[in-house]
Amino acid sequence: MKRFRIGHYLKTSLWTIPLLFILGGVATSLVTTSIDDGTLIPESVTGDANAAMQILYLIAFAMLTLTGLVLSLVVVVVQLAMGVFSPRIVRQILQDRPSQCAIGLFAGTFSHALLSMRSVAVSPEGGTVPGLAVLVAMILVLSCIGTLVWYLNHIGQSLRVAALVGWVAKDTMKTLDHVYPDPGPIPDLGPDLIVAPKAGVMFAVDHQKLVTLAGHAGCRLELLWAVGDYIPTGSALFRIVGEHGGLPRPDVVRAVAIGPERTMNQDVAYGLRMLVDIAIRSLSSGPFEDPTTAVQAIDRIHDILRQISRRPLHSGHYDDDGGTLRLTVPTMLWDGYVRLGFDEIRIAGSGSPQVARRLRLALDDLMAVAPADRQQPLTYQRELLDGSARAAAASKADGKAALVPDASGIGSAEDLVTAPHEDRR
């Protein structure tokens, strides 16, 4: 057990890999300076002794600065993860191999440059330059520059919720395979189903390719998940209707893009989802409650829904050139967009007069421009808003004021300004 504890400590420590890089930098300096008598690399490459000393000094100083920068970024990520997600995720962040390797490369380059400086002999006759050590230091600097750019992208990606959740899930799966190595019997889903080879979020679908594949095979494909859904490993992805003997299943699977998180490639609802998240987060009780931010998010939601309200939405049915149905895909209806845009904000913010008034204006405006067959979801939302705002108000007067449509939340409604309101349609 002692050996297990030591191994676990070394594996989860931030300093283990950087220490190996530092030792490697020391060894590189000792080797390069011992095999180079000052004539191995021409002076035209490394410069004279004074130039070599300045180069090594600048490299050492820059690497020390970069090492501090990376350590600072790691501390920032740890603080954000503890405050926003969970303090129990810190261990996964400290085990991040890219962070350890970046710190190690910068620290190793620093140790190599620092130790190589002792072999530079400056004299009036020109001195001795360990050209190989200087050349290796230059190469390491170029590697460090590339690593820095790559690491900044990595650390930015690591701050995403999907990345942090993915770290924990990946480690959990490794532990699961170790503790319970037998995966058990594979369920037989039947020949008419195509399973997902890996877990992830479906963020794009090549509809034309799927229609072509189904047409050549003489069958119909039913996609069982909507764009933006998370698909577990081994779950049914497609249902095949009709003859499917000639259907190339690997090509069907490749026509669906699965990744770690949702994107807005084909997912309009994801854009609304992010705006709603901003709104309800700003309405959470606490020191950061900010209904004005929620109103700004509602402004954009209102505009997006206004554009959607006039456009024909896709049925999710895709025909081939002959008019035969070849593919069905779950797609969001108008009711779904309305509920996504308003439900959570209404529940979280109906007690705020600023939010309630802005929601009321958005609903009234959408009812003025939406076709007759799209009125019912808007009417229902307005009824729910009216009831919630009245219930949350301290008095009848407050309840009445909270239901006055206002483009600014509180600022430009008919009960606050003297200028007549023009028809905004």
Q: In this predicted model, what pLDDT tens digit does every residue of 297-307 receive, in sequence order?
A: 999 999 999 99
- The rounded mean pLDDT for the chain is 87
Note the pLDDT of residue 394: 78
Neighbours of 281 (CB within 10 A): 15
Is 412's pLDDT higher than 80? no
Q: Which amino acid is at 206?
A: D
Taken in order 6, 10, 15, 20, is the CA torsion positive or negative? Answer: positive
Q: Which two tokens stand for residue 271?
A: 């854009």
pLDDT tens-digit map of 164-222? 888 888 888 888 888 888 887 777 777 899 999 899 999 999 999 999 999 999 999 99
Confidence of residue 90 (pLDDT cuts 50, 70, 90): confident
Q: Is the pTM of this model over 0.85?
A: no
Q: Is 269 left (phi over 0), alpha (psi -120 to 50) or beta?
A: alpha
CA distance 407 to 361: 6
DSSP-derived pairing of the beta strands 219-223 and 325-328? parallel
Residue 70 pLDDT class (50, 70, 90 cuts): confident
Structure-token pair, residue 26: 């020391």
Position 188 scores a pLDDT of: 72
For position 229, what pLDDT does the model report?
A: 95
* Confidence check: pLDDT of 123 > 80: no
Task: Choose between 215 and 7: higher pLDDT.
Answer: 215
**Residue whose tokens read 């991040």:** 96
Point out the least confidently predicted range of 69-83, 239-253, 306-320.
Answer: 69-83
b/e map 176-213, b = 16+ CB within 10 Å: eeeeeeeeeeeeeeeeeebbbeeebbbbebebeebbbb
* The pLDDT of residue 287: 55
Question: For a pLDDT cut of 70, what percent of the chain falls above it?
Answer: 91
Quote the pLDDT of residue 303: 97
Distances from the Cα of 123 to the Cα of 49, 130, 184, 193, 382, angstroms: 8, 14, 75, 80, 87
Radius of gyration of the chain measured on its C-alpha atoms: 31
Q: Residue 328: is its pLDDT beyond 60?
A: yes
**DSSP structure class, residue 89:** G
Which range has the worst mean pLDDT, 152-161, 260-269, 355-364?
Answer: 152-161
Q: Is the pLDDT of residue 244 over 80?
A: no
